[in-house]
């Protein structure tokens, strides 16, 4: 019985030390994951019991950002997107695609931040602002490139989609090469 009492005391002590910033980051993880799920899934699925399951899926990465839960939530979100487009015949809208991509990235980057922040960390608000500003810059660049590729894909009788695929692959290879070069430069 004594180990159980010690464990309860340790949990109470840890809960009393939780600071606001790591808690807000985890709330941000929950909210971005939930928004992604709501945008990805069709409205017919969101009514009733499935909504409770999606809320639980959104809570999992907030409680375990270092574990498999962020990947699980991303896969459930992508699965919802596929169910909505293939199963329910919802047309693919650019705004919805960009919104799902944005919240998936924000969830990913917030989970990365939460994974390195201890619960009792005292964090300067500028750190969070700079982290989110960097994420916003990445999202803006991805949106601009994505819209340009969608426009290129609409050109011609079918050659445009091949051109957009080739341009997307070239952009991915160039970004990978740039990241590899930056990593070796250190």
Q: Nearest-CA neighbor of 135 among 169, 112, 168, 167?
A: 112
Query: Is the model's pLDDT at 64 over the cut of 80?
Result: yes
Q: How confident is the model at residue 74 (pLDDT cuts 50, 70, 90)?
A: very high
Q: What is the pLDDT of residue 161?
A: 61
pLDDT of residue 175: 85
What are all long-range contacts of 14-17, with beta carbons under 8 Å and residues at least 24 apart?
14/119, 14/120, 17/119, 17/120
CB 78 within 8 A of CB 40: yes
Share of the chain above pLDDT 90, in %: 40
Q: What span, in angstroms and rounded, lies between the C-alpha atoms of 128 and 148?
A: 30
pLDDT at 112: 93
Kindly report the pTM of this predicted structure.
0.77
**pLDDT tier for residue 70 given thresholds of 50, 70 and 90:** very high
- Report which of residues 120 and 37 the model is more confident about: 37
Instruction: Please say if the pLDDT value at position 164 is more than 80.
Output: no
Share of the chain above pLDDT 70, in %: 91
Mean pLDDT of the chain: 86
32: burial class by Cβ within 10 Å (0-12, 13-18, 19+)?
Answer: buried
The pLDDT of residue 106 is above 70 = yes
Any alpha helices (H) in the chain, and if so which ranges? 2-16, 20-40, 43-46, 49-63, 69-82, 94-116, 125-153, 159-185
- The predicted pLDDT at position 44 comes to 84
pLDDT of res. 54? 93
Q: In the predicted model, is pLDDT for residue 133 greater than 90?
A: yes
Per-residue pLDDT, 158:
57
Which residues are CB-contacts of 155 (< 8 A; sequence separation ≥ 6)?
Answer: 163
Which region holds residue 20: left if phi is over 0, alpha if psi is between -120 and 50, else beta?
A: alpha
Give the mean model confidence (pLDDT) for residues 63-82.
Answer: 92
Tell me which range, 54-63, 111-120, 172-181, is most confidently predicted by mean pLDDT.
54-63
């Amino acid at each position: 019985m004594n180990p159980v009492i010690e464990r309860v005391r340790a949990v109470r002590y840890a809960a009393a030390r939780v600071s606001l910033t790591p808690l807000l980051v985890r709330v941000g993880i929950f909210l971005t994951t939930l928004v992604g799920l709501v945008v990805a899934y069709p409205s017919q699925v969101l009514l009733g019991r499935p909504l409770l399951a999606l809320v639980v899926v959104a809570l999992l990465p907030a409680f375990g950002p270092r574990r498999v839960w962020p990947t699980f939530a991303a896969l459930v979100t992508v699965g919802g997107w596929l169910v909505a487009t293939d199963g329910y015949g919802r047309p693919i809208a650019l705004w919805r695609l960009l919104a799902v991509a944005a919240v998936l990235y924000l969830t990913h980057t917030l989970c990365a931040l939460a994974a390195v922040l201890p619960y009792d960390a005292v964090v300067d608000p500028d750190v969070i602002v700079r982290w989110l500003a960097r994420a916003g810059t990445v999202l803006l660049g991805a949106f601009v490139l994505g819209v340009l590729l969608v426009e290129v894909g609409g050109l011609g009788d079918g050659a445009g989609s091949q051109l957009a695929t080739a341009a997307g692959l070239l952009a991915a290879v160039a970004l990978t090469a740039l990241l590899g070069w930056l990593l070796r430069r250190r």
